Amino acid sequence: MAASGKIVQNVFVAQCCQRNRQLDTQFTMRNSLPFQARKLAWTGFSAMQLRSLASYQSGPGNRGTVYCNAVPATSAAPHLEKVDFKKLQNGSDIRGVAVAGVEGEPVNLTEPVTEAIAAGFAAWLLDKKKIDASKRLRVSIGHDSRISAQSLQDAVSRGLAGAGLEVVQYGLASTPAMFNSTLSEDEEFICPVDGSIMITASHLPYNRNGFKFFTNAGGLGKADIKDILERAANIYANFSVESLKYSEQAASASVKRVDYMSVYTSGLVKAVRKAAGNIEKPLEGFHIVVDAGNGAGGFFAAKVLEPLGAITSGSQFLEPDGLFPNHIPNPEDKAAMKAITQAVLDNKADLGIIFDTDVDRSAAVDSAGREFNRNRLIALMSAIVLEEHPGTTIVTDSVTSDGLTTFIEKKLGGKHHRFKRGYKNVIDEAIRLNSVGEESHLAIETSGHGALRENHWLDDGAYLMVKLLNKLASAQASGSAGGSKVLTDLVEGLEEPAVATELRFKIDQNHTDLKGGSFRDYGEAVLKHLENTIDSDPKLQKAPVNYEGVRVSGYGGWFLLRLSLHDPVLPLNIEAPSSEDAVKLGLAVLSAVKDFSALDTSALDKFVQAS
């Protein structure tokens, strides 16, 4: 991290850690049921759970070691603001503002809020696991490179430890590694854990942060997050300055620190070696550059590629820096893709790999600078998976192209099942298809989230890249090495549109047209009207099977207008063989929605005029 970045980070931590101390000390305390009951009263645990916890926590001589990395606090007493916990839900994640100072956004992910959320997860986990007196639940915590990560990790630790759970801090980690820790059985690294929390806000601005939760069954869903936040709100309502001071000074469970990333990365290395016939350095001679965007993915160069024999010189932005000074860590971002493309060309590399902040998404670039992201990445992964599982169904999100469908079904002999936006929606749909007898081995979004059945349906950007490395390694082992052309050849024949764009129509929630109703109701009314309008236009045809919004073909291309999963926005995707055809599709939409005054269609107006 640059010196200026360190200064900003230190200033921030000093300002926001309102009650942490630089402890790194040990304390001894004797647990008893009354002690635990006092501590857990505000967490909403049942009397039965309290008795069960007490049976393994109580007893003479119990000792706990609690560590805290935060710098000295500026204030000993936290200020408890009123918080709407429901607004922290972002689908199957929790996200909020952790740092003040960006566009005047109020901070709603404070340390007390975080502590309450962790305690809410603990209560949820205890209910799900149905613990008995012989077992003590263990939860791992990891975080990406954000500047608020350390203070939130400590707050999560207090919430979990105060609820009687054993806490294992992994420090800087990737989201996929956190899920993997619920499956791993390496006891040297305190595995497996019963639950896992990743502190991340993916590619959002540096002032945001949030949480993803896992058990060995996978990532938690929307209903689970809603449940946890409801528990957290009740817990938070009973907080006081005294109880928070108490939780800081008297956490009953020991907090341990473990380098779990070494376990996770060794698994990736073994996977590539196995694919190449157990060759020690199957990537020897390949030059591969990595762009981690100053997120958590810098490990991939030194811990995965180099042990496999690859040259990684020219890799960039590997150092964690939560201010993201070079570009947004996001494989969908044009500036980010330009950065990794330029690195590949400048270094004459065989392949470039780029990750998002927490490494659950990725993309690649071949030696000629051709990007493998969005539809191309899906096509490439589909080609690899369909070689291994002929005829399988590939599940994608709703905005994938018609050309991709043709490629999967006509060229590869698979089946394309286009579903809803949202990586969890796509993954859950693939799981559902398998449960009803339709084989599916890949669920992947245009955003770069990709999950494979063989990898426990975990959306793991590093594992996706391992699948590409497997192709390079096996080609080299068989004597048919050709650099990244091995990968480029796999997507030969993919039809790509001349024009592809996404435009966003914002819904003014204060407009009189909403009449006090929700933006969702208004958005659904827009879509219904568009659907009725399309029925009367012989040049346009609705998609016969569609799970989200209104998808229409015409003029050699297609458009999809849908309602955003979380925001008062109707995104419009258009793909067409020419600008003229794209404009015709855009005008068809514009004509249908023109009377909806609360809808801001200025982006489409500009697109039509510019084309």
| Residue-wise pLDDT tens digits, 530-544 | 999 998 899 999 999
**Strand residue runs (E) in 234-380:** 255-257, 288-291, 351-355, 362-366, 371-372
Dmax of the chain from CA atoms? 81
Q: What is the pLDDT of residue 40?
A: 38
- pLDDT score at 187: 66
Query: Whole-angstrom Cα distance, residue 425 to residue 413?
Result: 24
Query: What DSSP assignment string belongs to 425-489?
Result: HHHHHHHHHHHTT--EEEEE-TTSBEEEGGGTTEE-HHHHHHHHHHHHHHHHHTT---TTHHHHH
Token pair 């109707």 in the structure block, residue:
570
Q: Could you give the CA distance from residue 225 to residue 219 in angstroms, rounded to a whole number?
A: 10
Distance CA 248, CA 65 (A): 12
The Cα–Cα gap between 115 and 151 comes to 11
* CA 269/CA 94 separation, integer angstroms: 32
Supply the pLDDT for residue 192.
83
CATH tag, 499-609 = 3.30.310.50
Q: Where are the domains of the chain?
A: 85-258, 264-490, 499-609
Evaluate whether 382 touches 408 at the Cβ level (below 8 Å): yes
Fold topology of 85-258: Alpha-D-Glucose-1,6-Bisphosphate; Chain A, domain 3 (3.40.120)
Share of the chain residues as helix, strand and coil, in percent rounded to the nearest 5: 40, 20, 40
Q: Phi and psi (nearest 5°) for 61?
A: 85, 10
pTM (predicted TM-score): 0.85
Q: Tell me, what's the pLDDT at 99?
A: 94
Which of 196, 202, 315, 484 is catalytic? The answer is 202
Determine the 3-state secondary structure of 187 from DSSP.
helix
Quote the pLDDT of residue 134: 63
CATH of domain 264-490: 3.40.120.10
Identical fold between 85-258 and 499-609: no
pLDDT at 64: 30
Question: Catalytic annotation on 202?
Answer: yes
For 328-373, the pLDDT digits (tens) are: 999 999 999 999 999 999 999 999 999 999 999 999 999 999 999 9
Counting as low any pLDDT under 70, the low residues of the chain are 1-79, 102-103, 131-134, 186-190, 241-254, 481
Residue 70 to residue 67: CA distance in whole angstroms: 9
Q: What is the DSSP letter of 577?
A: S
What pLDDT is recorded for position 244?
Answer: 66
Question: What pLDDT score was predicted for residue 239?
Answer: 87
Q: Is the dihedral of CA 148, 151, 153, 156 positive or negative?
A: negative
pLDDT at 248: 62
**pLDDT score of 131:** 67
pLDDT of residue 232: 98
